[in-house]
Chain A
Amino acid sequence: MLSIKNLKASIEDGTQILKGINLEVKPGEVHAIMGPNGSGKSTLSKVIAGHPAYTVNDGSVTLDGKDLLSMEICDRANSGLFISTQYPTEIPGVNNVEFLQMALNSKRAYQGLEPLADADFKKLCEEKMAMLEMDDRYRDRGVNDGFSGGEKKRNEILQMAILDPKVSFLDETDSGLDIDALRIVAHGINQIMSPEKAVILVTHYQRLLDYIKPTYVHVLRHGKIILSGGPELALKLEEQGYDWIEEN
Chain B
Amino acid sequence: MDAITRIKQLGMPRRNNELWTFFPVNKIPNILSADGNCRIADECSSSEDFANEDDFAALLPIVCNARELVKTIDDGENEMAMLKCNNDFGRTVLNVGKNAKASFEILDNKVMHEICAERFDINVAEGAELEIFFANPANDLPLTFRHFDIKQAAHSTVHFANVLQDAGIGRISARVELNGEGANFDYRSLNILKGTASKHQRLTILHNAPETVSTQFVRNILDENAYASYDGHVVVGNSCSKVNSSQLVNTILLSDGPSVSVKPVLKIYHDDVECTHGNTVGELDKDQMFYLTSRGIPSDKARAMLTKAFAKELFLELPEGPAKKRLMQVI
Interface residues of A (CB under 8 A from B): 49-52, 72-74, 76-78, 83, 85, 88-89, 91-94, 99, 102-104, 106-107, 110, 142-143, 159, 163
Question: Which residue in B291, B296, B308 is a CB contact (below 8 Å) of A78?
Answer: B296
Can you add 11 more A-B contacts, CB < 8 Å, to A89-B288, A93-B308, A102-B297? A52-B286, A72-B293, A74-B296, A76-B294, A89-B291, A91-B309, A99-B295, A99-B297, A103-B296, A106-B298, A142-B309
**Partner-contacting stretch, out of B78-86, B106-114, B271-279, B299-307:** B299-307
Take A78-B296, A103-B295, A107-B296 as given contacts and tell me if A89 and B301 are in contact as well, using a CB distance cutoff of 8 Å.
no
Indicate if the CB atoms of B309 and A99 lie closer than 8 Å.
Answer: no
Take A74-B299, A89-B288 as given contacts and tell me if A49 and B305 are in contact as well, using a CB distance cutoff of 8 Å.
no
List the B side residues contacting A77 at CB < 8 Å.
293-296
Dominant SS at the B interface? Answer: helix
List the B side residues contacting A99 at CB < 8 Å.
292, 295, 297, 305
Residue in chain B with minimal CB distance to A95: B309
Complex-state Cα separation, A103 to B288, whole angstroms: 14
Residue in chain B with minimal CB distance to A107: B296
- The residue among A85, A103, A142 with the most chain B CB atoms within 10 A of its own CB is A103
Take A52-B286, A89-B287, A91-B288 as given contacts and tell me if A73 and B294 are in contact as well, using a CB distance cutoff of 8 Å.
yes
Looking at the assembled complex, report how far the CB atom of B64 sits from the nearest CB atom of chain A, in whole angstroms. 43
The 6 sampled A-B contact pairs (Cβ below 8 Å) are A49-B290, A91-B292, A94-B306, A99-B292, A102-B301, A107-B296
Complex-state Cα separation, A23 to B293, whole angstroms: 25
Complex-state Cα separation, A76 to B309, whole angstroms: 25
List the B side residues contacting A104 at CB < 8 Å.
296
| Chain B contacts with A in 150-172, Cβ cutoff 8 A | none
Indicate if the CB atoms of B290 and A89 lie closer than 8 Å.
Answer: yes
Residue in chain B with minimal CB distance to A162: B295
Looking at the assembled complex, report how far the CB atom of A121 sits from the nearest CB atom of chain B, in whole angstroms. 15
Take A93-B310, A94-B309, A99-B305 as given contacts and tell me if A159 and B291 are in contact as well, using a CB distance cutoff of 8 Å.
no
Looking at the assembled complex, report how far the CB atom of B284 sits from the nearest CB atom of chain A, in whole angstroms. 11
Whether B312 sits at the interface, judged by CB under 8 Å, is: yes
Residue in chain B with minimal CB distance to A90: B288
List the A side residues contacting B287 at CB < 8 Å.
89
Complex-state Cα separation, A110 to B297, whole angstroms: 10
Take A94-B309, A143-B291 as given contacts and tell me if A74 and B297 are in contact as well, using a CB distance cutoff of 8 Å.
yes
List the B side residues contacting A89 at CB < 8 Å.
285, 287-288, 290-291
Complex-state Cα separation, A104 to B298, whole angstroms: 12
Indicate if the CB atoms of A88 and B309 lie closer than 8 Å.
Answer: no
List the A side residues contacting B305 at CB < 8 Å.
94, 99, 102
Looking at the assembled complex, report how far the CB atom of B34 sits from the nearest CB atom of chain A, in whole angstroms. 54
Whether B48 sits at the interface, judged by CB under 8 Å, is: no
Whether B317 sits at the interface, judged by CB under 8 Å, is: no
Whether B313 sits at the interface, judged by CB under 8 Å, is: yes
Indicate if the CB atoms of A49 and B309 lie closer than 8 Å.
Answer: no
Indicate if the CB atoms of A159 and B306 lie closer than 8 Å.
Answer: no
Looking at the assembled complex, report how far the CB atom of B121 sits from the nearest CB atom of chain A, in whole angstroms. 36
Indicate if the CB atoms of B293 and A74 lie closer than 8 Å.
Answer: yes
List the B side residues contacting A107 at CB < 8 Å.
296
Complex-state Cα separation, A99 to B290, whole angstroms: 14
Complex-state Cα separation, A104 to B301, whole angstroms: 13
List the B side residues contacting A92 at CB < 8 Å.
309, 313
List the A side residues contacting B309 at CB < 8 Å.
91-94, 142
Question: Which residue in A93, A102, A143 is a CB contact (below 8 Å) of B313?
Answer: A93
Looking at the assembled complex, report how far the CB atom of B293 sits from the nearest CB atom of chain A, in whole angstroms. 4
List the B side residues contacting A93 at CB < 8 Å.
308-310, 312-313
Complex-state Cα separation, A102 to B295, whole angstroms: 9
Looking at the assembled complex, report how far the CB atom of A79 sits from the nearest CB atom of chain B, in whole angstroms. 9
List the B side residues contacting A142 at CB < 8 Å.
309
Looking at the assembled complex, report how far the CB atom of A80 sits from the nearest CB atom of chain B, in whole angstroms. 10
Indicate if the CB atoms of B290 and A106 lie closer than 8 Å.
Answer: no
List the B side residues contacting A85 at CB < 8 Å.
291
List the A side residues contacting B299 at CB < 8 Å.
72-74
Complex-state Cα separation, A31 to B301, whole angstroms: 33
Residue in chain A with minimal CB distance to B305: A94
List the A side residues contacting B302 at CB < 8 Å.
74
Indicate if the CB atoms of A110 and B291 lie closer than 8 Å.
Answer: no
Indicate if the CB atoms of B296 and A110 lie closer than 8 Å.
Answer: yes
Complex-state Cα separation, A81 to B56, whole angstroms: 60
Indicate if the CB atoms of A50 and B313 lie closer than 8 Å.
Answer: no
Residue in chain B with minimal CB distance to A165: B296
Complex-state Cα separation, A99 to B287, whole angstroms: 15
